[in-house]
Structure 1
């Protein structure tokens, strides 16, 4: 894989993570809207495709495979949280625990992406 293509994957991946965090927070605040979760799902797709492209470009290092697995769990948590909020279960303690787990995992994924872990 060329360095130029790999750089495209890296930049789109990092940008999509930034948009995902922002859109998730906006979707959680305005959980009755329908457009922000749809845009959020589009960025999930961009993030996953660019992440797989980077994995191929870097020849599947174990650290980034683990990061990818955690990222998929983060996406699942975001969807669970938004679904619970839409159903009116946003104030329950289990949803608050999911928010806490999401916060820990998103920080972990970002730190792994920047090479801190």
Structure 2
């Protein structure tokens, strides 16, 4: 069961990043945003489920908190794009947080 959750979760990260880029590029179309939010939901459910199966280790709890912050940053970036405000700093933060999350997820850190 854990392997199914792991593959779903890791695959959803890739889909989520792709949908975020598409949502940013096509910010006037609502369909990409809806798909992105569905990806958030699947990613969060599988992540919490895996946390429960592993016994809530502190490093993966930190990863979950960073993932929630990343989701918030993504939503703020999309909001800024719609309002035509600068998003460069937000992109830098998203890339850094995503890199840390991936390093924790693949147990490099």
TM-score normalised by the chain length of structure 2? 0.97
Question: Which residue number in structure 2 is paired with residue 79 of structure 1?
Answer: 75
- Map Cα deviations across residues 47-103 of structure 1 (whole Å, 9 max, x no partner): 0000000000100000000000000000000000001101221xx2xx211110001
CA distance in structure 2 between the aligned counterparts of 1:110 and 1:8, rounded to whole angstroms: 18
Rg (Cα) greater in structure: 1
Superposed, which structure 2 residues align to 1:87-106 within 5 Å? 87-89=83-85, 92=86, 95-106=87-98
Using the alignment, how far apart are the partners of 1:16 and 1:31 within structure 2?
21
Which runs of structure 2 are paired with 1:14-29 in the superposition (5 Å)? 14-29=10-25
C-alpha separation in 2, matches of 1:104 and 1:115: 17
1:46-61 aligned at under 5 Å gives the runs 46-61=42-57
User: 1:115: which partner in 2?
Assistant: 107
- Structure 1 unaligned spans of 5+: none
Mapping of 1:31-50 within 5 angstroms?
Answer: 31-50=27-46
How far apart in 2 are the matches of 1:99 and 1:10? 27
The CA RMSD over aligned residues, in Å, is: 0.7
SS at match of 2:28: coil
How many residue pairs were aligned?
109
The Cα of 1:29 is off from its aligned counterpart by 1.1
TM-superposed CA distance for 1:32, in Å, is 1.1
Structure 1 runs of 4+ off > 2 angstroms? none
